[in-house]
Every structure is written in structure tokens, then in C-alpha cells.
Structure 1
Amino acid sequence: MNKEIFKQPNFYLALFNFFIGLLFIFQEGSVARTASYIFQLNFIFNMYIINSTKKNKH
């Protein structure tokens, strides 16, 4: 990984969303399962933003 990725706050938000999504995915109930999907989608979206801003800077 490039060091530029670690300087972006979206990277840390994406990691947080990933781990919270993992915690919710193992919980019982439909609300927890829905929350885990939302956190995982937010992780993917943040990583997309990081990748697109990295490409635009070069």
C-alpha cells in the first residue's frame, strides 16, 4: 500500500466500518444483519472514494 492512503481520514473510517460490520454480522436478528450490510457497503464506498482521489492526484 502507498503511504498516501494512510494519510487520508476516509481510510480510517473505512477500517472502522469494516470491523463494526464484522461485529454486527455475527449478531442475531434482522436489525443487526441489516446494520452489518450497511457498514460493509459503507466500507466499500469509502475505499472507492480513496482509490478515486488517489488516481485524481496523479
Structure 2
Amino acid sequence: MITINEDTVEQPALDWLSGVGFAVVHGSTISPDGEAPFTVTEHGLIAGESTVWSIS
């Protein structure tokens, strides 16, 4: 019997995202108190002073 868990799906997805150009980082790095916090607003995803992804 095959067991499917979060890691079974997550790791191939992260590998694929990395392969198409996305930066893959650990969640604690981008958490509000992490070393490179990201903020989600109604305008998009913000990293420090830069817009990473924008909602049009």
C-alpha cells in the first residue's frame, strides 16, 4: 500500500517551482519575525521595500 502524506506532494512541487524560476525558502525565513519577512497586502506580496508579486 502506498502512503501519501504532505511531504510526498510538497517536495516535488517545491522542486518544480524552483526549476521554473521561483525562489524556494523555508517559511520561518519569510515569517513576520524572520530574517527576510514577507507581507501580504491587498496589493500583492511585499518583501521589505520591494513588490514581489502584484495583484492587478
| TM-score range for the pair, normalised by the shorter chain length | 0.3 to 0.5
TM-score between both structures, scaled by the size of structure 1:
0.34
TM-score between both structures, scaled by the size of structure 2:
0.35
Structure with the higher helix share, 1 or 2: 1
Q: Which has the larger radius of gyration?
A: 2
Q: RCO (CA 8 Å, sep 6+): is it higher in 1 or 2?
A: 1
Structure with the higher strand share, 1 or 2: 2
